[in-house]
Structure 1
Amino acid sequence: MRIGKQDQAFTAIATSDAESITVRGHDLCGDLIGKIDFSDYFWLLVIGEKPTAAQRKMLDACLVAIAEHGLVPSVQAARMTLAAGPDAWQGAMAAGLLGMGSVVAGSSEVAGQFIAEVLANADANGTDVDAAAIASLKALKQARKKVPGLGHPQHNSGDPRANRLLDIADQLGVSGRHVSALRSLAEHAPGIIERPLPINVSGAIPAVMLDAGWPLEALKAVPLVARSAGLAAHLYEESLRSIGFIMSHEADQKIEYDGPSSSLQDTQA
């Protein structure tokens, strides 16, 4: 990407004048408000065209699946931030979203890139998906890296959200090469990595969304938008009955200091 002056600066998303607002070629007030569901609008905003019925249902299913999973790190960060600054919802929401990285909640992007890489290797080497999946798994094992999209510390016998999303993709006729690659990885991973590694929700979401036509570069937007809804629920509850300082206190009690002692502590000892 060039830095500095650039020629031909354009956006195809939206424009406005004194009388109207145009979004992706549609009049916001005349064509969209009150006439389109948010999932359709989300798809339209990102991709530039309205989704098919199957694409909408698949997106809806993914948003519902990942919106909420209890007091995960991003939720704790958001609730403790709001407890410390009750007037700063935007700061608390930002704290939660910033905590969605490659390990928790935002890992769909990493898994999607891995699945796409497996398929690209299959195409480049003229092999089938199974062979490419096996080669990728062996490379991860040799590098002592985790398999993106597989395994879950809590749902170690199988992530029910992932299973449901894959079933829906099958029913809608959405399942394609990405779902096939994910299933191949899940089939061969236990024997190669030598431990159970069921498909998790962060593996299912990119597989079904990529097969539905969602762009790889915008994958992280799906869990971000979904978790915003979950964070809103937690922040509203936090404003009514706060547990932010309780969580902070519990962390303080559970974590022991093992650094050097002060001169005063040495005297008291």
Structure 2
Amino acid sequence: MSETTTLDTQAADWWQTEIIDMRPGEIRYHGYPIEQLIGRVGFAEMVWLMTRGELPSNAQAALLEATLVGAVDHGPQAPSIAIARMAMTCGGSLNNAMASAINVLDDIHGGAGEQAIELYRAIEGRLQEGGTLPQVVAQGLEAWRAEHGKIVPGFGHRFHPVDPRAPRLLALVDDAAERGEVSGTYAGIAREIERQLQAKKGKPIPLNIDGATAVIHAELGFPAPLARGLFCLSRSVGILAHAWEQQCQGGRNKGPMPKGWLWDYRGQVSRNVSNG
């Protein structure tokens, strides 16, 4: 073996992937030539192919697309959207604004879907061991709170008494379950969690967009960590739209509060530096 061949092999082995095969004049994703995918496969189907390795069925693609549409935007009151708009008023570019915004989609703002899947799957595992759904959900919630605290991810909303996106997404799951396209197990778990939260709190703590998309992602078999990535993918559309709108509107150095509004200062009273 020549020294050149050895170096070529070392270079080829530096990165290993099953996602893309590419050489001059050829591009294949998981074996599919790109020219056969273009014009035949939708974006949601491409997301599935790239993350799961196979093309989805029409039913699977439709449910995934529903989650991507549902989580696109929630206005400038959402930190990610506000950050994108503020970045544009600081003279940033669209890509800088998008990166700044996506970087804050973390455990609290953006991570609830991943956490909800973890909760649902823990409860589903308990179901397989036996027990009624109400019993198992109660045990699952108790175990979750013991490990993670009182917040149950995917339920309740600080702005919407009822998140208008959640019932629609669950209805799509119900329809798919009736057709035998998904099991409906996770929709049942989510509804029982919702029922028990209301019974405990004495008021509705309804399913929100994170909990509803988590139902679909779980029904479709997505690993929990991918749920956060899918949320980022969806919300990036709204982030782009708001960043572009802000660029078109103009404005300079817009912070989180309107001009003339000041924060609540709670430090030391006015004082002077002593000469001693």
Aligning the two structures, in what range does the TM-score lie when normalised by the shorter sequence? 0.7 to 0.9
TM-score (norm 2): 0.84
- 1:89 Cα deviation from its structure 2 partner: 1.9
- Name 2:4's counterpart in structure 1: none
- 1: distance between equivalents of 2:91 and 2:22? 35
- Name 2:153's counterpart in structure 1: 148
- 1:52 Cα deviation from its structure 2 partner: 0.9
The question of 1:235 aligning with 2:243 is answered yes
SS at match of 1:188: helix
Percent of aligned pairs with the same residue? 28
- Name 1:69's counterpart in structure 2: 74
Q: How does 1:100-115 map onto structure 2 within 5 Å? A: 100-115=105-120
Q: What residue identity is the alignment partner of 1:239?
A: Q
Structure 2 counterpart of 1:127, from 123, 127, 131: 131
The question of 1:83 aligning with 2:83 is answered no
Q: Is the 8 A contact 2:110 2:228 kept in 1?
A: no
Pair 1:167–1:152, CA change in 2 (3 A): same
- 1:97 Cα deviation from its structure 2 partner: 0.7
- Name 2:232's counterpart in structure 1: 224
For these two proteins, the number of residue pairs brought into alignment is 256
Larger mean Cα displacement after TM superposition, 203-212 or 187-196: 187-196
- 2: distance between equivalents of 1:150 and 1:209? 16
Provide the aligned C-alpha RMSD in A.
2.5
SS at match of 1:245: coil
- Name 1:17's counterpart in structure 2: 23
Structure 2 counterpart of 1:31, from 33, 36, 42: 36
Pair 1:175–1:250, CA change in 2 (3 A): farther
- Name 2:165's counterpart in structure 1: 161
**Structure 1 unmatched runs, 5+:** 1-6
- Name 1:213's counterpart in structure 2: 221
- Name 1:3's counterpart in structure 2: none
Pair 1:203–1:19, CA change in 2 (3 A): same
The question of 1:96 aligning with 2:101 is answered yes
Q: Which has the larger radius of gyration?
A: 2
Q: Deviation per CA, 1:131-174, whole angstroms, max 9, x where unpaired? A: 11112234456675111111111122x21100000001111223
- 2: distance between equivalents of 1:133 and 1:12? 38
Q: What residue identity is the alignment partner of 1:85?
A: G
Q: Is the 8 A contact 1:138 1:192 kept in 2?
A: no
- 2: distance between equivalents of 1:131 and 1:58? 29
Q: Is the 8 A contact 1:137 1:192 kept in 2?
A: no
**Structure 2 unmatched runs, 5+:** 1-12
- 1: distance between equivalents of 2:272 and 2:244? 44
Q: Is the 8 A contact 1:119 1:129 kept in 2?
A: no
